[in-house]
Amino acid sequence: MGRVVVFGSINLDTVLEVPHIAAPGETVGGFGLETFPGGKGGNQALAAHNAGADVCLVGKVGMDAAGQQMIDFYRGEGLPIDGIGNSELPTGAAFIQVERDGGENAIVVVAGANGDFTVADADAVEIAPDDVIVAMFEVPIAVNEALFSRARGIGAQTVLNPSPAHPCPPGLFASTTHLVLNETELAVLSGHPISETSSDGFIAAAVSALEAPAGMVVVVTRGPGGARGFAAGDVIPMPGRRVDAVDTTGAGDCFTGVYAARLAAGDDVETAMIYANAAAAISVTRPGAATSLPTHAEIESLLRRKWS
């Protein structure tokens, strides 16, 4: 069993509960304000850790109160902090509007320390052939590319979550073995307009338009609609589960982290998707991102129930 090595962002999230997402120029009265640990890197690492994986989180925080708060949180959760460095820039931050009914969200991210990475930082990350390396777009993409290239050179699996949505450099794309993305991100990478009502056939056409390298697995998360996997010419349908959503923030990170954890445990793509889909269904029933992530026991318990 290999490790899950997550190279990514660490943020302190400020969550605003609102009646609806504010439109440009609109002022909306909020119902409440809370702060939570977040950042896609931290969320995905903690999701994998909670799912039972041996995890190394490689990230940076500022030398400020927010950074210390994040370190204390991870330490309390039992997530190793050896890979977290300090930056003279402030700790990354995210400001999140969450609708009271339905849990939909809109997010603004300020990179701060998450942008303070060089290729030398990537070169310093220890990688073994049986590791699963995870990266996203809240840290410098050029550094992701260097890390993935080295990982593929020794035979490690790589999982890219291209979020926030941004075109993917050819070198990084070529070094990715598992692409995990949502409909918005698929639309940006493929050039196909996609919505939550798009048919599975339309999703498949968009995936085909990616012209993914041979052997790449593409997993498209569809929120309440579950997920669709595309591997070696096969389509893996994964229906959604009916739950009462409270906050969808971090659901994609939960899916990605648990998916990587199951790959590191030796599972095939379909089994990894089953676990990740169940974990994400649990996460949306709880507020916050890092604070909503389920344990391995909770995921197993849900999987033992009748599908609903």
Catalytic residue set: 253
* Nearest one of 37, 71, 39, 49 to 5, comparing CA atoms: 49
Burial 24-60 (b: 16+ CB within 10 A, else e): eeeeeeeeeeeebbbbbbbbbbbbbbbbbbbbbbbbb
**Residues in contact with 214: Cβ distance below 8 Å, sequence separation at least 6, in sequence order:** none
Q: How many residues does the chain have?
A: 308
CA distance 11 to 138: 10
* Nearest one of 132, 151, 146 to 269, comparing CA atoms: 132
Strand 132-136 with 105-110, pairing:
unpaired
* Nearest one of 2, 3, 5 to 144, comparing CA atoms: 5
Three-state DSSP class for 93? strand
Burial 104-124 (b: 16+ CB within 10 A, else e): bbebebebbbbbbbeeebbee
For residue 17, report the phi and psi dihedrals to the nearest 5 degrees.
-85, 125
Helix boundaries (H) for the chain = 40-50, 65-77, 119-123, 141-153, 170-174, 183-190, 200-209, 251-264, 269-283, 296-304
Q: How far apart are the first and last CA of the chain?
A: 31
Residue 37 parent element (H or E): strand 32-38
CA distance 281 to 286: 10
